[in-house]
Amino acid sequence: MLKCNLEITHFALVMSFINFLFFHFPFFNFVFSNIDYKSFNGIIIIISLVVAMIAANFFAFYLFLFISRYFGKFLLILFFNINALAIYFINTYSIIIDESMVGNVLNTNYDESSRFFSIKMVIYLIFLGILPSIYIIKTKIVNVSAKKFFKTFSLTLLFLLVLIFVNAGNWLWIDKNSKTLGGLAMPWSYSVNTTLFYIHKHKRNEKEILLPKAIIKDHKKAVVILVIGESARSENFSLYGYKKNTNPYLSKTENLYHFNATSSATYTTGGVKAILDYKKTDDLYEILPNYLYRNDVDVVWRTTNWGEPPVHIKNYQKRENLMPNCKGEACNYDEILLTGLKEQILASTKDKILIILHTSTSHGPTYSKKYPPQFETFKPVCNSVELGNCSQTELINAYDNTIVYTDYILHNVIEDLKQLKEYNSTMLFVSDHGESLGEKNLYMHGLPLSIAPKEQYEIPFIVWVSNDSIKLKPNQMLSQQNVFHSVLKFLNIESPIHDENLNIFK
């Protein structure tokens, strides 16, 4: 049984060892997979990382506990419980906790986050979080003199600096893999990246950068419906050659085009921002709906999702806004976004209209809950949030059914537009990012783009136009940046920032 009376130095060291043993298997699994661990240099890297991990955590824990035993204990309890949840998600979904993943977590709403709940997650939390917390609470910490503290603190810091100097020859490898290593080191992965997330968020949101004035060039009625897909990867669309018929409606639709495309990010906030931005940038420029609304276009945003940049328009409609006018089972799914859509377009007093539908149809891990029962075309399906417990056949079947349902929703959007005879109309469907479905033992999305597999960034870019007179350029490969400039072109809006090279229409 562990002692319940420990000197602060010994307690910090014990906590560092426990933290190392409980939470760093994924970290060293990555290291062993990416170096020659049998070579002398590989052995040096591994030993150095083990020692550095324990020493760095001891350094921090020792400092926090000396400042205040209560504050230090509170932080340790917080770290262990968050570590337990973090390591559950890393082991279950093969994620890396970088700044973008922290953004995903902080921007996820309750409805989506509750879908990740599982018994396995509770077990992780109890054994790796709550039980160590009980030990932390019960242990009586014996303080040391300021002289002894500064001596130990200084020696630890000196040791870390010497370790860094000794490994100077390995910094190239460490730097190359720093994003992954940093995203797997506990508790630094989320603590550092949460700080960075809020620093960058504050910087971005200081002031929206307005774009130059645009001019509507004619009075011809035109409407664009931009459907932003969620986690839809092109690989599973039969339009793109997938062997299973996941596009029974779109495959028979005239004036429909599909293009190969890539996303600018593997997470929702980054992907949606890229779709709405006029150029690839981290700055907070005025996004497409805000820009067009300010320049006298009727703009409507309907969403069952989250994660978009700040939207400043009059008609911003969430599920709860649409629910009173929706009837039937479809109201529980993304079909709710189509409620009264045609009527809203016809009621507009403007010549130019932009409708944005932000869906959530293919968002995991509960793919089988994202479509009505009649769309369960492929069986059997995965019904577990622990995707690794399902066979890949079950997992892919459930995901493919979300694509079948997406096909049906897009078909209905097109049918509504067909009835608007006095309008030139187009529908653009672009996904925010792709999705991993067990390939290379990866699930869902959110890996840094530099190391993400193609399943997480190869996305569908589908275009329908209302008549043969509207021609498209023979594009080979598109990106999310094509959306902004193509919408301006279709609505015949002149702007100094319009880039004809990024416009898909002739």
Is 160's pLDDT higher than 80? yes
Is residue 301 within a helix (H) or strand (E), and if so which, with residue range?
strand 298-303
Q: Stretch 280-287: mean pLDDT, rounded? A: 90
Please state, as a whole number, how many other Cβ atoms lie within 10 Å of the Cβ of residue 243: 6
In 153-273, the DSSP E strands lie at 215-216, 222-229, 256-262
Query: What pLDDT does 169 receive?
Result: 62
Query: What pLDDT does 447 receive?
Result: 83
Q: How far apart are CA 48 and CA 167, in angstroms?
A: 8
Is residue 494 within a helix (H) or strand (E), and if so which, with residue range?
strand 493-494
Homologous superfamily in CATH for domain 224-502? Alkaline Phosphatase, subunit A (3.40.720.10)
What are 351's two structure tokens?
């010549």
As a whole number, the mean pLDDT across the chain is 91
Among residues of the chain, what percentage have pLDDT more than 70? 97
Question: Which one is predicted more confidently, 176 or 273?
Answer: 273
Query: What pLDDT does 206 receive?
Result: 65
What are 336's two structure tokens?
């709710």
Out of 168-177, 283-292, 415-424, 452-461, which region has the weakest mean confidence (pLDDT)?
A: 168-177
Question: Which one is predicted more confidently, 1 or 339?
Answer: 339
Query: What pLDDT does 172 receive?
Result: 61
Question: Could you tell me which residues come within 8 angstroms of residue 123 by beta carbon, excluding any fewer than 6 positions away?
Answer: none
Given pLDDT bands bounded at 50, 70 and 90, which one contains residue 1? very low
Amino acid at 287: I
What burial letters (b/e) apply to 90-105, b meaning 16+ CB within 10 Å?
bebbbbbbbbbbbbbb
Out of 23-27, 298-302, 321-325, 449-453, which region has the weakest mean confidence (pLDDT)?
A: 449-453
Out of 169-178, 330-339, 370-379, which region has the weakest mean confidence (pLDDT)?
A: 169-178
Residue 479 contacts residue 501 (beta carbons within 8 Å): no
With tokens 């049918």, the residue in question is: 415
Q: State pTM to two decimals.
A: 0.79
Q: How far apart are CA 233 and CA 432, in angstroms?
A: 9
Given pLDDT bands bounded at 50, 70 and 90, which one contains residue 468? confident
- Can you state the angle between helices 69-93 and 40-67, rounded to 10 degrees? 140
Is 450's pLDDT higher than 60? yes
Among residues of the chain, what percentage have pLDDT more than 90? 67
Query: What pLDDT does 460 receive?
Result: 98
Where are the domains positioned within the chain?
5-204, 224-502
Q: How far apart are CA 477 and CA 485, in angstroms?
A: 15
Out of 77-81, 227-231, 318-322, 478-482, which region has the weakest mean confidence (pLDDT)?
A: 318-322
The conformation of residue 369, written as its DSSP 8-state character, comes to G
Over residues 4-33, the pLDDT tens digits come to 788 999 999 999 999 999 999 999 998 998
Is residue 411 within a helix (H) or strand (E), and if so which, with residue range?
helix 392-418
